[in-house]
Structure 1
Amino acid sequence: MKTFYIFCCLLYAAGIEVSSIKVEGFEGGEVSFQCSHRLAKGNNKYLCKDSCNDREDILVTVKAGGRAASGRIALVDSGDGVFTVTFSHFQLSDSGKYWCAVERLGLDTFTEVHVTVKEGTVLYATVGAVAMLTVLMLAIIIRKHRVNIKPQPQVCSKSTDGVSADETEVRVSSRHTAIVFLEKHDDRLGSESNEADEVSFPGFRG
């Protein structure tokens, strides 16, 4: 018992995080979570699965302040002892126990992570309902817009009704001018006729 207590104290001094992280997500989605370790700014970090006893269990390793990815898993180190783990295209097989770890001289430190992937039927149903509601709202808006736009009545009139007062005046004035011209022309013809009657020829007097 005393040996176990000393071992726990050594692990705490080395920076072991005793708390665990729980992560949940839907199938086909993307999930991110952060792992924080003390005194680990310049250390390499890695993510491993299951027992994490062998190097084969290590999924991704990232250097301090860097970024690394393997398959659908990416690690980003912020350089302050915290690194972010991202799972893309979540799958049901991703469910299980993982470990966020830090490489140290002697013993590495770990934080336990429990990942749970749920089937995406609920998510897909929610997305489908939102899409249908959006389409319905757009249809209502378009219908209201069409009702508000009423066709303007067109007024048709005969060509004579559309004649302006100025055009009528011009027509009357032109007609009056023509009548005056005819009257003057008739007077001129009458005077010429009288003059022709008064012409006399020498040698022929009545």
Structure 2
Amino acid sequence: MKIVNLKTLEGQEVEGLRLIQPEIFNDHRGFFYESWNQVKFNENVGESISFHQDNISFSKKDTIRGLHYQLNPKPQGKLISCSFGSVFDVAVDLRSQSLTFGSWIGVELSFENNHQLWIPPGFAHGFLVVSEFAQVQYKVNGFWDKSSERSIYWNDPELSIEWPIKNIASFKPIISTKDFSSPMFNQVKIKGDIF
């Protein structure tokens, strides 16, 4: 297992985010890898994490889910993987005291690379499906709580997320009504819905 500390486009490391690249054993039958190990995971993130829920979403190409998060006192950390297809997965730092506050990280998660992204509490999360279909799995270390749930508009100009879209001006995402009506980042900051 290889752990990668992620950096912003400006080259600044984002504290807490981890890209996990499992060791994959291939042979004539196919492949095998260890997708989860509590001891190794806790060693690599530097704290003891207990997961409470496993969630799965299945979506078609051009679907955007997010940017979602839960506020204190019931925040969620998420371990994200893509078991079928491919997604561009995004985490936005919402920790007001962080040197990378308001910065985003985007990585490809796919069936081919088997990478996982650990997103600790304090980040908003979302993804774009880039394959025809994709199945995304989330291990979360807190239960879903409607009263703590928040979101930010996926294409907020202040965040300037570089989604892998050829012509973003004409792009029509498949998106939920709730996500379409999400507030902008500045509104979230003014309201105090950050960490």
TM-score (norm 2): 0.24
The structure carrying a bigger helix percent of its residues is: 1
TM-score (norm 1): 0.24
Structure with larger RCO (C-alpha < 8 A, sep 6+): 2
The structure carrying a bigger strand percent of its residues is: 2
